[in-house]
Structure 1
Amino acid sequence: MKPVITRRDFGTLAVGALGAVAAPAGFAQSGTFPAKPIKIIAPFAPGGGTDYIARVVATKLGERLKQPVIVENRPGAGGNLGTELALKSPPDGYTLLLVAGSYTVNPSVYKLNFDPIADMTPVIQLSRGAYVLVVNAALPVKSLAELLDLMRKEPGKIAYGSSGQGGHLHIVTEYMLDLAKAKATHVPYKGTGPAVTDLIAGNVQMMFAGTEAVMQHVKAGKLRALAVGTAKRLAAFPDIPSVAEAGVPGYDVVAWHGLIAPKGVPAPIVEALNREINATLATKEMEDRLAINGVGTAGGSPAQFGSLLQAEVERYGKVIRQAGIKADQ
């Protein structure tokens, strides 16, 4: 499979796909894509699982495309600074944006200068992972049902940690509490690491976190895993029930990463990127590299990823409004 689009390919794919949307000048003149390096803007600080995924994908995609794929970190304002920069870049396929769950939360937490759905072009979902609900090992509960019973009997007594006010872990916890009709006290931290440290110390009693952040502590007996956030159990941890089967029907949260582009990128370019990234994700090497961080590869079509983004913006917007959640000022 060649990672280029010829002039003939472009003409064939464009018919009926874009209407009046024209191809960028560089694309039309060169007749191939990509003709120069591609940039992935990561709106997070260097290091950590999200940055790792961006760089692994960039390296392997660059090898397929025979062009450098560069990761540029632009952190700030909950990821919104780098996001705005990316979405206001030329829609030529040479600037992509790495997004995670926070992308679908931020529209309801911050006042944005862009529309997270109307101003972007979905490209592909990169990864699929799960959050695990864990408690301090000294807490006298052995199941989610017992934890919920305790929270309902003494509303607000149980404190839960998160990676930050208005962050994805904060929202997915409030989502569970809302469905379960239970109350707990939120304690935000500056990152997942500090929250897990305080959970182990007993300063908070529960939290959702990625498998990569907590399962080693579960195995060491410092934390107890009560449930996973996905609708089904994880193959890697088959003894841990899902939140839905353990007492909160309907709860289904996937931890994911994906790539989007500015609004108006021509369909043939989006299709080329999607095709090559799907092929990259399908390799055993990529599966193994992402598994280091406890996640699996995803893939799929741009439309599928766009539907996920739309659904999560709507779902979490409702949770945020009901809970009155606002970002730190």
Structure 2
Amino acid sequence: MPQTFSRQQFLRAAALLGAALALPALAAADTFPSRPLKLLVPFSPGGNTDVVARLVGQGLAEALGQPVVVENVPGANGAIGASRVAAAANDGYTLLFGTAGTQAINPSLYRNLSAKSLDDFEYIALVTSIPNVLVVNEAKTPVKSVAELLSYARERRSGMSYGSPGMGSTVHLSGELLKSATKLDLVHAPYKGSAPALSDLIGGQIDFIFENITPALPFIQSGKLKALAVTSAERLPQLPQVPTMKESGFPTFVTATWNGVLAPKGTPRAVVQRLEAATLKVASSPEFKAKVSSLGGEPRLLGSAAFRDFTRTEFKHWAGIIQAAGLEKQ
């Protein structure tokens, strides 16, 4: 005769089963981390992403009690490094220091990626936002404001060039956004990094650039480059006299790169929560905030769920810019 269970017995059995299934995850959280972690930076050493990643890595090592090895895997606007992390073991020991490029822009630029690739990761925490700044070499481009730059470009009618550290960067797409908004004939000059792009701007080989504030700031402060506008929503403390693009006649022109920590999809929730708490602790420290501010960035802290939602909003934002620019998938 089949055995029957009361509703109370059924609920008790379900609770016991749930607790049993949760034991491995709880055990993993209790022992995590038990060995060194790897924080993969999908860009070359020396850039703002690498600098901030090393700050986070050092802080995580102290917070978690295990070494955090920072590894640089550049290529394809960060897509190569991001793909490597997505395919790694989902145990919390291989992490990605993601950016607007890897998480929000690349899915609209590369044929082998799509919006679905946003689900290849567990979102740990967002830590910084780093806006761009529109700069010129006045000896080459004799203007002092965005309005003067546009007038100068219309007088020349064609051929004005803007540099970038590579296809698909927020620097490149900021230039494309200006191009589509003004209908000017502007020529994109891609470089292999910010350093050669800024060098050619100083040397007079290109006309302007929307560069990340971090590498551009020393040249602005030394007078080698003239800042016309910043792409942040508000003026930056480091450049209080420089207006925003919004103030310069472009009310929706807000662009920035950003940095956050991610893990492969399927990383145990308890491990994600441990990493989230540690990352937010690091990023909320006065030392971290001071260092990011000195780089021209803005500390921006979002936990796991908010970071995931933010990334999806950013994906739609950049997809619209890419579509307006008519850029084909690579």
TM-score tier by shorter-chain length is: 0.7 to 0.9
Alignment of 1:1-329 (within 5 A): 25=24, 28=27, 31-103=30-102, 104-112=104-112, 115-138=116-139, 139-326=141-328
Inter-partner Cα distance in structure 1 for 2:245 and 2:23: 47
Say if 1:167 and 1:255 are closer, same or farther in 2 by CA, change over 3 A. closer
Say if 1:247 and 1:66 are closer, same or farther in 2 by CA, change over 3 A. same
- TM-score, length of structure 2 as denominator length: 0.85
The CA deviation at 1:156 is 3.2
The CA deviation at 1:241 is 0.4
SS in 1 for 2:247: helix
The CA deviation at 1:318 is 2.5
C-alpha RMSD of the superposition: 2.4
SS in 2 for 1:257: strand
Q: Report if the CA contact (8 A) 1:179-1:251 is conserved.
A: no
Q: Report if the CA contact (8 A) 1:136-1:223 is conserved.
A: yes
Q: Report if the CA contact (8 A) 2:42-2:75 is conserved.
A: yes
Q: Deviations over 1:62-92 (max 9, x none)?
A: 1111122221222233322221110112222
Q: Deviations over 1:83-124 (max 9, x none)?
A: 111011222222211111211222222223674312111111
Inter-partner Cα distance in structure 1 for 2:123 and 2:22: 17
Say if 1:27 and 1:308 are closer, same or farther in 2 by CA, change over 3 A. same
Which residue does 1:6 correspond to in 2?
A: none
2:53 maps to amino acid: A
Q: Deviations over 1:231-269 (max 9, x none)?
A: 110122111000011111111112211111112223332
The CA deviation at 1:26 is 7.4
Identity %: 36
Inter-partner Cα distance in structure 2 for 1:222 and 1:47: 21
The CA deviation at 1:162 is 0.8
The CA deviation at 1:224 is 1.2
Q: Which has the larger radius of gyration?
A: 2
Inter-partner Cα distance in structure 1 for 2:148 and 2:23: 58
- TM-score, length of structure 1 as denominator length: 0.85
Inter-partner Cα distance in structure 2 for 1:235 and 1:181: 32
Q: Which deviates more from structure 2 when the two are superposed, residues 214-223 or residues 83-92?
A: 214-223
Q: Report if the CA contact (8 A) 1:166-1:327 is conserved.
A: no
Inter-partner Cα distance in structure 1 for 2:23 and 2:319: 35
Which residue does 1:9 correspond to in 2?
A: none
The CA deviation at 1:320 is 2.0
Inter-partner Cα distance in structure 2 for 1:23 and 1:288: 40
The CA deviation at 1:144 is 0.7
1:111 maps to amino acid: R
Q: Deviations over 1:136-191 (max 9, x none)?
A: 11223221122123334544332111112333311122123323443411111111
Q: Deviations over 1:176-227 (max 9, x none)?
A: 3323443411111111111111111221111011223223222333221110
Number of paired residues?
Answer: 309
Inter-partner Cα distance in structure 2 for 1:113 and 1:219: 39
Say if 1:302 and 1:189 are closer, same or farther in 2 by CA, change over 3 A. same
Which is helix-richer, 1 or 2?
2
